[in-house]
């Protein structure tokens, strides 16, 4: 029985225990609501700092993934256009071979070839993704973020570069479509422009009833060279696309590993948390009962004065 009405030591002890239980209960409830056992630096400063840095790196890797996906889309658009260009050039070459046969309507074949040339130009011009076109000569270089290492002031960015030299099919003398031709005959041309549509151009690939067999042979040779150039561009861009795909897979695996590592440091064990929550709720109820009993003890002193 207490002997003081000013200081109820039993009640003070009960309050202290109940406060401790309340604090632990609030901590467990926070773990359950957030899913984290370390959500602030006060929970564990070292682990909180590590998780913050790793989460920053994961965010950077997410940006790298977006960049690689963009690069893959750009290259996919280009390779699709190259595939179309191959089909168009093959058809042009077939038309030129047909034009060499006696009795064929060369004017009609020439009209078909002009239409195919327009399709060729359209395929190159439309091979653009997000404003990047690797085929029309507008992009002298292309690079995409491949990885980000370090954090803070030590952050370093690496890139995957795409060689656009092999895929420049823009118009002009530097074009892969202004190509050398096998020279023979009086009307032999040093080069043939697969793009040129005007009959006034000396090196235009234009077919009419007056086109000689020697000239047709030059055109066939030029288109064959152009096909080789398209194949070379496909190989170059295909290799870059494969590199991007491999790097994307690596970044995905790296990001998953970091996420798993951070999870092991800061994520709450929900099975353990639920078990502890039940125990603390029981302790809380018992603590309230103990405080109630301790408060009632002081009232027993009244019986001494009856």
Dump pLDDT digits (tens) for 152-175. 677 788 888 887 777 888 754 456
266 Cβ contact partners less than 8 Å away, ≥ 6 residues apart: 36, 37, 38, 39, 47, 48, 51
Question: Given phi > 0 = left and psi -120 to 50 = alpha, else beta, which region is 196?
Answer: beta
Residue of 64, 67, 61, 41 whose CA lies nearest to 257: 61
**What is residue 92's predicted lDDT score, i.e. its pLDDT?**
93
Average pLDDT in the 20-44 region?
Answer: 82
Cα of 125 vs its chain's centroid, Å = 25
Average pLDDT in the 289-295 region?
Answer: 81
Confirm if 197 and 114 have CB atoms less than 8 A apart.
yes
**pLDDT above 80 for 183:** no
- Report which of residues 255 and 302 the model is more confident about: 255
- Report which of residues 152 and 259 the model is more confident about: 259
**What is residue 184's predicted lDDT score, i.e. its pLDDT?**
60
**pLDDT above 90 for 273:** no
CA distances from 152 to 27, 46, 48, 56, 298 (A): 31, 17, 16, 9, 61
Residue of 64, 66, 81 whose CA lies nearest to 127: 81
Share of the chain above pLDDT 70, in %: 87
Confirm if 149 and 124 have CB atoms less than 8 A apart.
no
Average pLDDT in the 13-20 region?
Answer: 85
Q: Six-digit token pair at 225?
A: 């060279």
106-117 residue pLDDT tens: 999 989 998 998
Task: Indicate whether this model's pTM tops 0.85.
Answer: no
**Lowest mean pLDDT: which of 84-98, 102-116, 179-193?**
179-193
**What is residue 199's predicted lDDT score, i.e. its pLDDT?**
44
Please give the Cα distance from 169 to 140 (Å, whole number).
12
**pLDDT above 80 for 130:** yes
Concatenate the DSSP letters of all residues of 132-162 into one string.
EESSSSS-S-EEEEEEEES-GGG-EEEEEEE
Measured torsion, CA atoms of residues 291, 294, 295, 301, in degrees rounded to the nearest 10? 180
33-47 residue pLDDT tens: 878 888 788 778 888
- As to burial, measured by CB atoms within 10 angstroms (0-12 exposed, 13-18 middle, 19+ buried), residue 199 is exposed
């Amino acid at each position: 029985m207490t002997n003081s009405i000013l200081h109820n030591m039993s009640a003070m002890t009960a309050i202290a225990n109940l406060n401790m239980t309340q604090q632990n209960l609030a901590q467990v409830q926070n773990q359950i609501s957030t899913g984290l056992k370390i959500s602030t630096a006060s929970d564990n400063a070292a682990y909180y700092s590590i998780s913050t840095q790793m989460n920053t790196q994961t965010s950077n890797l997410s940006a790298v993934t977006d960049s690689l996906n963009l690069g893959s889309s750009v290259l996919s658009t280009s390779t699709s256009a190259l595939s179309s260009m191959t089909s168009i050039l093959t058809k042009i070459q077939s038309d030129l071979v047909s034009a060499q046969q006696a009795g064929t309507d060369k004017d009609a074949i020439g009209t078909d070839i002009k239409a195919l040339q327009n399709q060729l130009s359209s395929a190159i011009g439309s091979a653009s993704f997000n404003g990047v076109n690797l085929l029309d000569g507008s992009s002298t270089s292309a690079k995409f973020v491949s990885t980000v290492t370090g954090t803070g002031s030590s952050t370093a960015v690496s890139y995957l570069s795409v060689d656009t030299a092999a895929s420049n099919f823009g118009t002009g003398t530097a074009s892969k479509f202004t190509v050398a031709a096998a020279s023979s005959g009086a009307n032999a041309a040093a080069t043939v422009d697969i793009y040129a549509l005007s009959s006034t151009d000396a090196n235009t690939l234009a077919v009419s009833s007056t086109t000689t067999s020697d000239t047709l042979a030059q055109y066939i040779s030029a288109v064959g060279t152009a096909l080789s150039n398209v194949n070379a561009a496909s190989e170059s861009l295909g290799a870059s696309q494969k590199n991007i795909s491999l790097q994307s897979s690596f970044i995905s695996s790296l990001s998953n590993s970091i996420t798993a590592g951070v999870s092991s440091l800061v994520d709450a064990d929900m099975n353990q948390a639920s078990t502890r929550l039940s125990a603390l709720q029981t302790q809380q109820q018992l603590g309230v009962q103990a405080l109630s009993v301790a408060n009632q003890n002081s009232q027993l002193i009244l019986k001494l004065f009856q």
